[in-house]
Structure 1
Amino acid sequence: MSTVSNAVAQQENGPGALVTRYADDFAQVLPSHVKPDTFVRLAQGILRRDQQLARTAANNPGSFMAALLECARLGHEPGTSQYALVAFGNEVTGIEQYTGKVERMYRAGAVASVKAEVVRTRDHFSYDPATMDRPDHRVDWFGGDRGDLIGVYAYAEMKDGSTSRVVVMNRTQVMEHKAMARGASSANSPWNKWEESMWLKTAAHELEKWVPTSSEYLRDQARALGETIRTANRPTSAPPATEPAPAEPIRAEVIDGEAA
């Protein structure tokens, strides 16, 4: 009987129940395109699918909730191609994926398209920022092995027709980012399971510095537009005071040499 009671208690106080309990907190930071109920169901679904994650979340619920809160703040759905939840030791870590970073760029409203590609030894690649607004990258997509990864680049085409700053990174630079990633050497690390995606994510992360990537941009644009409208409707200067009508001239009649 005690075993059944313990199981019920764990279910009522486990990480899945904790997600439900704090649903309102998630709703406060979620942008409008993510429904709070959907967010909660997805978070609970991850726990059912990944037993290791569920155990880690139960042992360290604080790290699990912190990762979910960050996911909500960024406007992603947990456990999708946008945002992953990974157990590292006794802690749950949230990892924004490459597609999540690109999604935030599109969501901001200023970007028309995002281009990111890895470069391999047998590709043709040239880029001179002094004369080119974007790289010349030609790939023989059906020619077999393209060789080892040697670089990655990313840029955005803006809706006004301009091109953002082009981010170009070689292997050494990418490996420096990998060295800073927690658990990058473990077998379960995305760097070992999805290497090319992590290279793309690294370039997209650097591109974030040069393009709008969040809903704050839309709010700033709306605020600026509102200010423009208010300024347009505001009189440019105080209206001139109404001038009094000129006084009638004083007329005097001269009678017998005297003014009357």
Structure 2
Amino acid sequence: MTETIGNALEVRDHGPAAMVETYRAEYAALVPTHVNADQWIRLAVGVIRGDENLEKAARNDIGVFLRELKTAARLGLEPGTEQFYLTPRKSKAHGGRPIIKGIVGYQGIVELIYRAGAVSSVVVEVVRAADTFTYTPGRDERPIHEIDWFGGARGDLVGVYAYAVMKDSATSKVVVLNRQQVMEAKAKSDGANGRYPQYSPWATNEESMWLKTAARRLAKWVPTSAEYMREQLRAQAEVATEAQRPTLGGDATAPMPSADIPDEGDDLDEGPIDAEVVDETGEVRS
């Protein structure tokens, strides 16, 4: 009988990297056609073999690890990169032991925006204390951000902004966030405030998480490929009769997870987020 990811729990004695190889054909069928499946699988195997902490967390529940990789495959994002982070995460269901959590990074969100085909460019940048930044909503189409690249240290992170230039040259909603707003997003992050904060992207790559916070809010105002991916998944499910195959949770009739952008838990429970901009006086404007 052909093995599937759904059988993962029956072969736990195999290591996580070996399990990815075992289900190579299934992952190859999940990734979008523009993604090189062999390269994607090599990357997934290399990431788990090259990080002892990740490998240990994956062994604590290989089924969860494979399911997180399944999400990355469906979205067409590279696991273990700034497109799709793989991090150890404390699990009450596993007695406090860490398991693997997949988190879409800012580069992953930007990739999904580009893939939708509605934008010609996406700008996501942090602002540091020594930079010059001006933007007045209603007057300026886009922010003016000047950096003295040769003037020494740029200073601490003070803000972040994001916008897209559409195919018709129009500018999307401009999202501008100050430090307080970014810290509020961080405070809602399970990873940054859990038992293993040292493994959270907030600790390992803080600037990228500032960028992600702005990019995620921008994604509300521009098309992403999530809707397209959901339709593609439904078609794949019909062809592969996915509903009749075992799932990781053991429910043969459970639907496949949607292709919505997963997160650390900070944004998933918030509901819709209003895009915001902050003018030079610090006033927040919707």
Equivalent residue, structure 2, for 1:155: 163
Equivalent residue, structure 2, for 1:125: 133
Equivalent residue, structure 1, for 2:49: 48
After TM superposition, give the deviation of residue 162 of structure 1 in Å: 0.6
- Map residues 162-181 of structure 1 onto 2, 5 A cutoff: 162-181=170-189
Greater mean alpha carbon deviation, residues 161-170 or residues 96-105:
96-105
Aligned residue type for 2:142: R
- 82 and 219 in structure 1: CA distance in 2 versus 1, 3 angstrom threshold: closer
After TM superposition, give the deviation of residue 26 of structure 1 in Å: 2.5
Equivalent residue, structure 1, for 2:99: 91
Would you say 1:27 and 2:1 are equivalent positions?
no
SS of equivalent to 1:13:
coil
After TM superposition, give the deviation of residue 203 of structure 1 in Å: 0.5
Tell whether the 8 Å contact from 1:178 to 1:184 is kept in structure 2 after alignment.
Answer: yes
Would you say 1:61 and 2:72 are equivalent positions?
no
CA distance in 1, matches of 2:158, 2:28: 42
Would you say 1:140 and 2:151 are equivalent positions?
no
Would you say 1:211 and 2:222 are equivalent positions?
yes
Tell whether the 8 Å contact from 2:12 to 2:62 is kept in structure 1 after alignment.
Answer: no
Tell whether the 8 Å contact from 1:107 to 1:215 is kept in structure 2 after alignment.
Answer: no
Greater mean alpha carbon deviation, residues 158-167 or residues 105-114:
105-114
CA distance in 2, matches of 1:25, 1:143: 52
SS of equivalent to 1:212:
coil
Aligned residue type for 1:122: A
Structure 2, gaps ≥5 residues long: 1-10, 91-97, 232-286
Q: TM-score, normalised by structure 1?
A: 0.73
Q: TM-score, normalised by structure 2?
A: 0.67
Greater mean alpha carbon deviation, residues 143-152 or residues 201-210:
143-152
CA distance in 2, matches of 1:209, 1:31: 23
What is the alpha-carbon root mean square deviation over aligned residues?
Answer: 2.5
- State the identity as a percent: 54
Q: Deviations over 1:33-88 (max 9, x none)?
A: 12333332222222211122112111211220121011112111222332221122
Would you say 1:200 and 2:208 are equivalent positions?
no
SS of equivalent to 2:198:
coil
SS of equivalent to 1:125:
strand
Q: Deviations over 1:165-200 (max 9, x none)?
A: 101111111011111112214223221222211111
Aligned residue type for 1:205: R
- When the two structures are aligned, how many residues end up with a matched partner? 212
Q: Deviations over 1:140-172 (max 9, x none)?
A: 222123232221100011111111110111111
- 77 and 205 in structure 1: CA distance in 2 versus 1, 3 angstrom threshold: same
CA distance in 2, matches of 1:120, 1:21: 46
Structure 1, gaps ≥5 residues long: 1-9, 221-260
After TM superposition, give the deviation of residue 216 of structure 1 in Å: 4.2
- 123 and 35 in structure 1: CA distance in 2 versus 1, 3 angstrom threshold: closer
